Amino acid sequence: MTVDRMLPTEEAHDLLALTQELCDRELTGKADAYEARAEFPREVIRTLGRSGLLGLPYPEEVGGAGQPYEVYLQVLETLAGSWLAIAEAVSVHTLACYPVYAHGSERQRKSLPDMLGGELLGAYCLSEPQGGSDAAALTTKATRDGDEWVVSGTKAWITHGRDADFYNLFCRTGEAGPRGISCLLAEAGTPGLEPQKAEKVMGLRSSAPSQIVLDDVRLPSDRLVGAEGGGFGIAMEALDAGRLGIAACAVGLAQAATDYAVAYAREREQFGRPIAEFQGVGFMLADMATQVSAARALLLSAARLKDAGRPFSTEAAKAKLFATDVAMRVTTDAVQVLGGAGYVSDHPAERWFREAKVLQIVEGTNQIQRLVISRALTKG
């Protein structure tokens, strides 16, 4: 990827170099085969974990790498440039580790080294078939029965739903609305926790989501993460950071599409010269490159606010909104630059085009991001 990065430390430069090396060795050239089989690349994720890339923004004392968010996000961007499904999996797993890290009990936090090291893969179960954007209206219910919670309901669109080792279950334990929601931690294989078949999706087929049916799942009372009734707050905290992860994935995808389109336009000749020399194509490439740079700048600005301990929720919404819209525009234009070649699977542009769409939807649709931003503006 043709990116001149300004990183805070020499260690960060080494980390990005390691990431690119892993991309070249473990990711490049594999995406199409996994996509065709709709097979989740679990061993690839485990390899990244053992290389230290799954716990980057978490402290070293719990098994992480203690890296600033601005560095972690550029690692995600690099991964996305090679294979979006991998970058999205890393982003979602990092999100899934947050509840235990930030709100877990001492006993729950003992699992963090395996979580952050990639031996345990996480799933974040908030959305439901009838409730995506309106997360506070979720209906999955958890009731107390002695020293256990009994959970029933259905979760939807769960990344790693069929492959996860642990699940954050956001459930209704009290009154209607956000104050009645709690977070419970469940292990794969728990009786009654039943992942369903993978959804048939437009893109990211190697990491297709699935529903999770919860049929009287019994969990010990010590599986409550944080305070009873505090689950909605935990979910929103995690999503603020998770939106930056999705924005980074979008920037990486858009950069890859731009680089590929530029290389193609330099080589493809029409009327006796490369098509990049024609103003209609050259201006399109210029707009693509400019939009990607702007998206990256907005993303890193929000990340630096987070790293400084300052409020960043609104800036995260802006970054997610802008970067994912850019990814959709840029991948569309990349297909156009390639012309007929962009419409066939011999070139990756058509896959990138299909993959970009989901980034405008996951972890809060872009309409929800606009709602977050507009409320911040009107309420002050």
CA max distance for the chain: 80
Active-site residue, selected from the candidate residues 77, 315, 355, 363: 363
Q: Which tokens go with 103?
A: 């709100």
| AA letter at 24 | D
Check if 128 is active-site.
Answer: no
Backbone angles phi, psi at 198, to 5 degrees: -65, 145
The CA R_g of the chain, rounded to the nearest whole Å, is 21
Q: Are strands 166-172 and 181-187 parallel, antiparallel or unpaired?
A: antiparallel
| H helix intervals, the chain | 10-22, 31-37, 42-50, 69-82, 84-103, 106-109, 112-116, 231-267, 279-307, 313-338, 349-359, 366-379
- AA identity, residue 339: G
- Which contiguous run of DSSP H or E holds residue 170? strand 166-172
Q: Annotated catalytic sites, by residue?
A: 363
